[in-house]
Amino acid sequence: DIQMTQSPSSVSASVGDRVTITCRASQDIGTWLAWYQQKPGKAPKLLMSSSSKLQKGVPSRFSGSGSGTDFTLTISSLQPEDLATYFCQQANSLPYTFGLGTKLEIK
Amino acid sequence: QVQLQQWGAGLLKPSDTLSLTCAISGESPSGYFWSWIRQPPGTGLEWIGDINLSGGTNYNPSLKSRVTISIDRSKNQFSLNLTSVTAADTALYYCARVLVTYGGIGVPYNWFDAWGQGTLVTVSS
């Protein structure tokens, strides 16, 4: 199985800050990576697919980049509603695997 | 807009069979894969498997010997059965729709773009 490692496991930032979360795959997955946002008590929501393709309705302050084994999710200007845990997922090969998540807290 | 509503027993004993069902509404289920994903308490997500409308399935090898995913086209529902559960199967279980992106040579790459509300399943004696 492809292992997905996220860092940091948690981050605390202020409204307006730029926040970057990283995800590393244990082998080359091309650009076949997604990011999800899970707010407390809710199901995950797909933010981004194919490393950088923003899903409809997702604010443009979210962006994704990377290919191969190293990927980043960036929030350009943190908003209070961005309080959530963020997960990456590889779609390159079965079984699909997820990172353990990055918990984003607002200072 | 697709909606997924799931249900099933929330408290099981070791060796029981976990059974969950997910109803699809708001859009035709044709042309999609449908998936089950679980989340143990306080940790990450684990893909269990998926099924298409023709009944074709893919399973996570770690669970394959115990898992069956089935679909009832007449009711627009799909189901998860997991046999011989243990405490390690305690988790929040989600049903989800698979969004497929096709690569340059037609290879499918799957994401999960709509989710049920989740069902907490606890296995305890």
pLDDT digit string, tens, across residues A56-74: 999 999 999 999 999 999 9
- Interface contacts (A, B; CB < 8 Å): 53
Task: Tell which of B2, B111, B115 to mutate to test the A interface (max A CBs under 10 Å).
Answer: B111
- Per the CB < 8 A criterion, the answer to whether A82 and A60 are in contact is no
Extract the residue ranges of chain A whose pLDDT is less than 70: none
Instruction: Look up residue B26 and give its DSSP letter.
Output: S
pLDDT digits 0-9 by tens, B40-75: 998 899 999 999 988 899 999 999 999 999 999 999
Nearest neighbour of A49 by CB, restricted to B58, B101, B115: B101
Chain A contact set for B100 (CB, 8 A)? none
Decide if A94 and B58 are in contact by the 8 Å CB cutoff: yes
CA distance A55 to chain B (A): 9
Q: How high is the pLDDT of residue B103?
A: 82
CA distance A33 to chain B (A): 9
Decide if B113 and A99 are in contact by the 8 Å CB cutoff: no
Strand blocks (E) in chain B: 3-8, 11-12, 18-25, 33-39, 46-52, 57-59, 67-72, 77-82, 91-102, 108-115, 119-123
Residue B31 has pLDDT above 90, yes or no: no
Chain B contact set for A96 (CB, 8 A)? 47, 110
Rg (CA), chain A: 13
